[in-house]
Amino acid sequence: MAPRARTLGALTAIHDLRVGLISDTHGLLRPEAGAFLMGCDYIVHGGDVGGADILDDLAAIAPLIAVRGNNDTESWAARLPLTELVRVGDVFVYVIHNLEELDIDPAAAGVRVIVSGHSHKPMIEERDQVLYVNPGSSGPRRFKLPISVGEIIVSGSAVKARIVDLYAGRPDRRGPEPTLA
């Protein structure tokens, strides 16, 4: 049985629901990430937020679900849960920062999508009819990993996911960069 979930959207949505995915902002909400998230029905942040102001800025765009990452250690972060289970339309989405700390059997719990962060590596993978999505990092660049965000589109019980490299195809692909070691 699935843990208690918050319900987002009508039980039967009358249109597809667009859920923006962002993670590992580490205190930096890039304008490109904010622009990508405009028009989302909801936003999910996979942790390592880096500051309450990031949460406020994202919540001004769309209703926000966020979990605490391993670097979210200041007092403002105490209000963030370590995991979150939400129902988006007809789909259960489980949010956790570090996928290696997954504490449920998603298929047995009826979870269709797992959203995580932590690795800074964008990923979409389906295992046992569970879609695992890590939007990568949209904050300061780490190593040579892309700066990315993602989304899931929920249509009834069907889910599609995509990841967008915010600087792909641009001559200034690296963008203005603070970096993490």
Q: pLDDT digits over 56-96, tens only? A: 999 999 999 999 999 999 999 999 999 999 999 999 999 99
In the predicted model, is pLDDT for residue 8 greater than 50?
A: yes
| Token pair in block for residue 139 | 């904050």
SS3 label, residue 97: coil
> What is the model's pLDDT at position 3?
53
Band of pLDDT at residue 144, cut at 50, 70 and 90: confident
> What is the model's pLDDT at position 116?
98
User: Are the beta carbons of 36 and 20 closer than 8 angstroms?
Assistant: yes
The CA–CA distances, whole Å, from 76 to 52, 73, 101, 126, 144 equal 6, 8, 22, 34, 30
User: Are the beta carbons of 46 and 32 closer than 8 angstroms?
Assistant: no
Band of pLDDT at residue 171, cut at 50, 70 and 90: low
Full-model pTM: 0.88
In the predicted model, is pLDDT for residue 175 greater than 60?
A: no
Mean pLDDT of the 10-18 span: 69
The CA–CA distances, whole Å, from 162 to 127, 131, 132, 145, 152 equal 16, 11, 11, 17, 7
Who wins on pLDDT, 22 or 143? 22
In the predicted model, is pLDDT for residue 11 greater than 70?
A: no
In the predicted model, is pLDDT for residue 174 greater than 70?
A: no
